[in-house]
Amino acid sequence: MRRFFFHFRKGRRSLMDREGETLQDDAGARGVALSIGRDFVDRALGRIAGRWAGWSIDVRNQHGRRILLMPLEQTLRVQPGEALDQDGSPSPRVVHLDMWRSGRVLSALINQTRRLGRQASMVSDRHRYVVSRLGHEIRTAQEVARQSGELVARSRARSLVGGPLLMAQTGSFTR
């Protein structure tokens, strides 16, 4: 079994297949490429869907050697012995991912979900800490404001009561 990659190209633009498919041989890769190309056929119009016109499938093996470069339009030509729909057009087939590839995608999603869950938990803990710390700072500020108010009040009371008495004791008080 060998790995084949099915890239899409149009001029300088390309969509790269990073995972590929495991197949028996080059003939199997050509067959899969033909099946993929047929999936881009607009059956109602009998041509390649508009935005995919001009694109090609570039099939390469695991060593990067090109196996096939086929314009999507070529898939409209029916080869002898291929399955046809009732109207005579090639029957599009869906290429299913193998279980190994699906398992890798699922595993990556599970790991990403766990990582995001840990990050959310850390943000929640940080939020609780900040709220608690802010409450403490507010209570401290209120206590300082209360003590300052008491100190100002005592200071005013002493200046009213103690001011003339001190001057009378020193003998400099005059009315």
User: Would the pTM of this model clear 0.85, i.e. be above it?
Assistant: no
Cα–Cα distances in angstroms (integers) from residue 75 to residues 82, 120, 140, in the given order: 11, 48, 77
pLDDT value, residue 129: 92
User: How sure is the predictor about 13, in pLDDT bands with cuts at 50, 70 and 90?
Assistant: very high
pLDDT value, residue 172: 54
Give the amino acid at 130. V
pLDDT value, residue 133: 94
pLDDT tens digit sequence for 65-77: 998 888 888 777 7
Residues β-bridged to residue 8: 15, 57
Distance CA 138, CA 96 (A): 61
Long-range contacts of 158-164 (CB under 8 A, 24+ apart): none
- Residue-range domain boundaries for the chain: 2-95, 97-162
Q: Which two tokens stand for residue 157?
A: 């009371």
User: How sure is the predictor about 30, in pLDDT bands with cuts at 50, 70 and 90?
Assistant: confident
User: How sure is the predictor about 143, in pLDDT bands with cuts at 50, 70 and 90?
Assistant: very high
Lowest model confidence (mean pLDDT) among 16-30, 71-85, 146-160: 71-85
pLDDT tens digit sequence for 122-139: 999 999 999 999 999 999
Instruction: For the chain, give the mean pLDDT.
Output: 79
Q: How many other CB atoms are there within 10 angstroms of residue 95's CB atom?
A: 13
